[in-house]
Amino acid sequence: MFKPLQLMKFLVLLVMTIAFMGCASTAKQSSPGDYVDDTVITTKVKTAIFDDPDLKVMQISVETRKGVVQLSGFVDSKRNISRAGEVAGSVPGVKSVKNDLIVK
């Protein structure tokens, strides 16, 4: 049978092992490369929206996270909401577009 001191050592070792396992890095963390890629995509989407003759809107905010582009802000018509989504989706590297634009 276990002696009390051996049992205590075993329990401390077990608790420490579990605690260290909880500190391991996960796949949910972003690398610096992911951040740079998202910044490049955001810049390309903003440029594409600004260069589009139908949109030319400075009231559209663009954010990118892991290739998913989120559009927010105000436009003049429902047609411009659809057009902004199309333009953003056509940029290389964009995985999907979350279009939260609002007609003012």
Q: What confidence tens digit (pLDDT) does each residue in 14-72 have?
A: 777 777 776 655 555 666 666 668 999 999 999 999 999 888 677 899 999 999 999 99
- Answer yes or no: are the C-beta atoms of 94 and 42 closer than 8 Å: no
Among residues 8, 32, 1, 84, the alpha carbon closest in space to that of 100 is found at 84
Tell me the per-residue pLDDT of 77-91, one tens digit each, with 9 for 90 and over: 999 999 999 999 999
**Which domains can be identified in the chain, with CATH numbers?**
31-103 (3.30.1340.30)
Q: Is the pTM of this model over 0.75?
A: no
Backbone angles phi, psi at 30, to 5 degrees: -90, 145
